[in-house]
A = this chain, B = another copy of it.
Amino acid sequence: MCEANVYCIDKEGNEKLILEAVDKVIPMEEGFLLENIFSERKIIKAKIKEMALVEHRIVLQEE
């Protein structure tokens, strides 16, 4: 499966895992809606910093 783990860097510069095995990433007015392969959802107010799909890694930056 080709889902990714989504990490977020907070305002202090610390990176934390937000949601594993994310399939869908959809921009919304208030940030991004993340949905993983287990149908867990999170909305996070952040912008994209980088995506490295072969590493299964999406990094967001908190706004």
- Chain A positions near chain B (C-beta within 8 angstroms): 1-4, 22-27, 37, 47-54, 56
Name A's interface SS: strand
Could you say which residues of chain B place their CB within 8 Å of the CB of A4? 2, 53
Copy tally for this chain in the complex stands at: 2
Query: Which residues of chain B come closer than 8 Å to A25, judged between CB atoms?
Result: 48, 50-51, 53
Determine if B49 and A2 form an interchain contact, defined as CB atoms under 8 angstroms apart. Answer: no
A48 to B16 CA separation, bound complex (whole angstroms):
23
Can you list the 7 inter-chain pairs with the closest CB atoms, starting with the nearest?
A2-B2, A25-B51, A23-B54, A26-B50, A2-B53, A3-B53, A23-B53
Whether B48 and A48, one on each chain, are in contact in the complex, defined by CB atoms closer than 8 angstroms, is: yes
